[in-house]
Structure 1
Amino acid sequence: MRRESALKTARQLPKGVIRDALLDAASSLMREQDTVEIGILDIAARARVNHGMIRYYFGNKEGMLLALLDRDVGVRIRQLEALFRLDVTPTERMRIHLEGILDTYYQIPYLNRLIQAMVREASAERVHHIAEELLKPIAKAQHRIIEDGIAAGEFRQVDPKLFYFNTIGSADGLYSNRFTLAAVFGGIPAADEALHERYKRQTVETLMAGLVA
């Protein structure tokens, strides 16, 4: 009876409120615990709703995590669309793009791990969705910037596919390696804003140095 009452009360709230609360809860738990292996009871407790709400709004935990990817990566794709409307050189466009990727991994340090977990033993439909709707738009946008830079004489000839992996590997490196940061370098448990800004500047400069003609 108590569970039914909780479900009834939750359903009376605006759908977006509960949905966003669950997505925010999952995101915050993965950041705090440095893992994508989080439980539905913990997610529901953080969101302050009954765990049945996960099934009600998303079907299951995997559906909720896919919705989280859609939300967070979708924001970045829309930012890329805005980037191409700026009247700037390919060099400046690439610099803004790289800074954006570093900011993304600082804000969502679990991103690569979540993607890999979501496609492992997943249905062909889900794999296709993640590849076509979330990952390829970013890779294609970067490829386009590189091609524009080469055509303008600003960039040297580079392999766009390899540069993409250079970018993602560099962006993911600091934020997904808390143990190395703390144990090997005697640093803080996780990157803070000051360290992020230093890492972003150095990483962008390093990547641009390998690209600019």
Structure 2
Amino acid sequence: MRTAHREDKGVIREALLDATSALMRELDTIDVGILDIAARANVNHGMIRYYFGSKEGMLLALLDRDVGVRIRQLEALHRLRISPTERMRLHLNGILDTYYQIPYLNRLIQAMVRDASAERVYHIAEELLKPIASAQHRIIEEGIATGEFRKVDPKLFYFNTIGAADGLYSNRFTLSAVFGGIPNADDALHERYKAQTVDTLLAGLLA
């Protein structure tokens, strides 16, 4: 009985996170209401307070889940016996896929650290963002050591990467108003954009 109860709690918790993520993507905003989230998850809105303490707590849990998956993928990437160039290519493809799947990511991070407690800022910076930046730095150093990469500033290359990855998916208005009325990137456009962006970033890195 206790195991079943824990499983039920886990299902409801994940349903709320899934509902929040889906609404943010569909509405192109992080400002989604708890009643809408609860309705999408098909639960009472009081479940948000029960499982997360507050809407803010739920958003932090969503950020932990979204980024945590990518950190584990990076750890697996570093265990592969491949060249720095191929490792970077896979890494960049993964970042582009992340922003296609989670276009609200940067907006959510900025909202969660604005006027936040020092403890939360530390958690987001040290446990969610620095592992990704450090992993990319490690690949760059590996590539420089093998002669595959020219010397670049890893910090600036990180911003090159995130800016390029976020640009298409967080700019629905520009995509729609300037480039042919497309409401948002679909799978085909994402694959084209990913290929071009990864090639462009790698071209600036290769020796």
- Which letter maps to 2:148? E
Q: Does 1:39 align with 2:39?
A: no
Unaligned runs of 5+ in 2: none
The 3 A distance-change label for structure 1 pair 13 and 148 is closer
Which residue matches 1:167?
161
Please give the per-residue CA displacement for 1:44-103, whole angstroms capped at 9, x wherever unaligned.
Answer: 010010000000000000100100011110000000000001010000000000000000
Provide Cα deviations, 1:139-173, integer angstroms capped at 9, x if missing partner.
Answer: 00000000000000000000000000000000000
Q: Aligned-pair distance for 1:187?
A: 3.6
**Which residue identity is paired with 2:202?**
M
The match for 2:97 is 103
TM-score (norm 2): 0.96
User: Percentage identity across aligned positions?
Assistant: 84
- 5 Å matches for 1:50-199? 50-199=44-193
Q: What is the RMSD computed on CA atoms of the aligned residues?
A: 1.0
CA distance in 2, matches of 1:161, 1:193: 30
Q: Tell me the TM-score normalized by structure 1.
A: 0.94
1:86 partner letter = L
- How far did residue 19 of structure 1 move? 0.1
* Segments of 4+ moved more than 6 angstroms: none
Amino acid at match of 1:36: I
Q: 3-state DSSP class of the match of 1:103? A: helix
Shift in Å, 1:14: 1.0
2-structure distance, mates of 1:72, 1:134? 10
TM-aligned CA deviation for residue 186 of structure 1: 1.3
With over 3 angstroms needed to count, the CA separation of the structure-2 counterparts of 1:13 and 1:154, relative to structure 1, is closer
1:203 has 2:187 as partner = no
Distance 2:124 2:59 in 1: 12
Provide closer, same or farther for how the CA distance between residues 135 and 13 of structure 1 changes in structure 2, counting only shifts above 3 A: closer
Distance 1:39 1:130 in 2: 23
